[in-house]
Each structure stands twice: as C-alpha cells, then as structure tokens.
Structure 1
C-alpha cells in the first residue's frame, strides 16, 4: 500500500482551501446579489407608493382648489322662438338666456358670459353688454342674454361663463359643464410707445 505523498500535501491542502474560498466567495456574491435585488424591488415599490401618494395629494389639492367653482351652475334656454301652428312646438329661437347660479358658500367676482367673440348682456341692468358683474353673492343668480343670432346658427354658438372665485382663481365654465382654470382675462401687454426721434436744431446764418 502506497503512502501519502507528503511532498504534494501542501499543494493539495492549498487546493482544498482555494476551492473552499472560491465556493464561499460564490455563495457570498450570490447572497449579495439577492440582497441587491431585494433592495431594488423595495426601492421600486417605495417609489411607486410615493408616486401614488403624490397623485392622491395632487387630486386632493385640485379638489379643494376647485371646490367653490364646482358649485356654480348654468341654466341655459333658447329664447325668441315662435310656436309652430301645426305642431305647437317652439322653433326659430334666435338668442340664448343664461342663468348663472352661485350655489357655493362664498361670493363670485367679475362674472361674464360670452358666445364666441360676442359678449352677453347682463339683463338685470341697462347698457351691460360686455361688462362683468362685479359680485355675485352666494345663493343668488344672475341672468345674461346673448345677442340675436340667425336661428339656423344658434345651436352652434354656446355660452361660456368666466368668473373669479373667492380665492382669486379665474375659472371658465361651458354650457356642457366643462370647468377649467384660466389666466386672468384682459391681461394684455400694451407695448410702450417708441421714443420720439431726436431732431437736431437747425441753425440759420444771417
């Protein structure tokens, strides 16, 4: 029976330790990779949760911001019609009447109604075409009347109401109850006049 070749024993032992170290390194690397993947999944989940929380918070802010404006109601009716002798039905209406109802808990400011580029008249006062109703208190209404249109075109010209809420935000409300915030109307920039050209005095010799 041959004995152990002790001359190769150090090499053998070193090989065993090297193999063990390599196995340990692979196991450690695999564990670290698993931890990294778990951390990535956790971070991704946290990012998704934060995104949902931000979206919910933004919706809550938007809801609070538009709470008063969403309590404004429009009652739109066609006027100036004639009754058909045969059917008894109204036809040939040539203008709109718009009743703005402030069902909110606060006043509205600078209320106006327009039809395309043509303003309505606030019929509760004289000479009000194109003028804004300065204040509409809560639980009150204001009635606007459109200009007279061709009866065949009336349906294509729908009212749009603009107003400012009690927080100073401007809103636009269409006849189909589409509500959107807008920039303050009428904020046009008028360019400054150009400076007058410099004119040298004319010197005449006698």
Structure 2
C-alpha cells in the first residue's frame, strides 16, 4: 500500500471554490424561499385586511342607503264613518298618515291598499296634527314631493269591514338618492323591485 494521492493544489482550490459556491447557492435559495414565504404571508394578511375593509365600506354604504328610508313613518288605523245619529259602525276605511322625519325630501309617495286599491283622498297635514283630523289642503296622488319634516294623509275608499281588514295599507316612496322603497303595515321596510311593482 502506497501513500495517498491528494492531487495538486489547483484541484484543491477548485474543489474548495466549488464547495463554497454550492454552499453560497444553497444559502441564497434558502433565503429566497424564506423571503417568498414571508411575502406570501404578507400578501395573505393584506388580502384579509382588504376584504375586511371592503366589508366595512359595504356595511357603511348600506347604512347610508337605508338611513333616510328608516326615517319615513307610516301611521295607519281602521276608521269608522259616523251615522247621522252619531252612532259608529264597523270600520269602513283606512286612514294612513305618512311622516317624513328625515332632513331631505322623498318623492313619488303613494299608498296602496291590498294589491289593487289606491287612495281615494290625500291631504297635506300640518306636523302638529299628525294624529288629528284632516285640517290640511287636499292634494293629488301620488305626492310627487314630500319635504323634510312634512306630513301627508291618505284615505282609502269606503268598504265593508271585511274588505277593509283584507286590504291593509302599503307605503311606496323614492328616497332622495333615487332608491324606491316599500313599507308595509307591519313595519317591514324593503327596497322595491326594479320593475316598480309593490
């Protein structure tokens, strides 16, 4: 057995440099992988933040959209015509008072009774007489403009008590941003269908 051959110096230098280059390349790839992982995590976090911000902006926009509509109130009651002898009979019509409690006007205000009946009479009412008789001026329906803090009253036709009961009032109006709304006699507020049907 003879002495081990270690080769010449240039071969050793080349081997050391090759090893160093391989180690440097490994460290570079490892560092890049870590950077890519951190960037992916950052992008994922930003995506979550953007989704939350969009959700908050959408919720705020929805609140603004509904803000005025929620300030339009409908007070309704079944009413009875009194006979010439002062005796009240069964309810024979509806009295519906619409109050705009917002700071902006609403448009195309109308009340329907059931699915087919329209108001027989409409009056502009002073705010102080919201729950009183009809001291105001008679106007036409639909009410094209109901100003801020203004009140109107709609009266149905006179019917039998059963017809009155089966034809509850529904308010329709367009807010100051052009959105059409319906408010039923149970207080359910909804955006009206695009085709304008109640």
Q: Which TM-score band (shorter chain)?
A: 0.5 to 0.7
Q: State how many pairs are aligned.
A: 177
Query: 2:176: which partner in 1?
Result: 166
The 2-side partners of 1:127 and 1:68 are apart by 24
Query: 1:79: which partner in 2?
Result: 79
Q: Is the 8 A contact 1:95 1:146 kept in 2?
A: yes
Of structures 1 and 2, the one with the larger relative CO (CA 8 A, separation 6+) is 2
Query: Which consecutive unaligned segments of at least 5 residues does structure 2 have?
Result: 82-88, 124-136
Query: 1:120: which partner in 2?
Result: 119
| Runs of 4+ residues over 6 Å off in structure 1 | none
Q: Does 1:180 align with 2:178?
A: no
The 1-side partners of 2:22 and 2:165 are apart by 83
Query: 2:101: which partner in 1?
Result: 103
Distance 1:95 1:28, change over 3 A: farther
Q: Is the 8 A contact 1:122 1:142 kept in 2?
A: no
Taking structure 2 as the reference length, the TM-score comes to 0.66
Q: CA RMSD in A?
A: 3.8
The 1-side partners of 2:26 and 2:160 are apart by 85
Q: Is the 8 A contact 1:122 1:133 kept in 2?
A: no
Q: CA deviation at 1:139?
A: 2.1
Query: 2:54: which partner in 1?
Result: 54
Query: 2:127: which partner in 1?
Result: none
Query: Which consecutive unaligned segments of at least 5 residues does structure 1 have?
Result: 82-90, 187-206
CA deviations on 1:76-112 (whole Å, 9 max, x unpaired) are 223349xxxxxxxxx9655433211111123222210
Structure 2 SS opposite 1:112? strand
The 1-side partners of 2:142 and 2:65 are apart by 23
Q: CA deviation at 1:65?
A: 3.7
Q: 2:146 aligns with which of 136, 141, 145?
A: 136
Taking structure 1 as the reference length, the TM-score comes to 0.64
The 1-side partners of 2:77 and 2:36 are apart by 66
Distance 1:139 1:126, change over 3 A: closer
Q: Is the 8 A contact 2:181 2:189 kept in 1?
A: no
The 2-side partners of 1:170 and 1:137 are apart by 16
More divergent stretch after superposition (136-145 vs 119-128): 119-128
Structure 1 SS opposite 2:27? helix
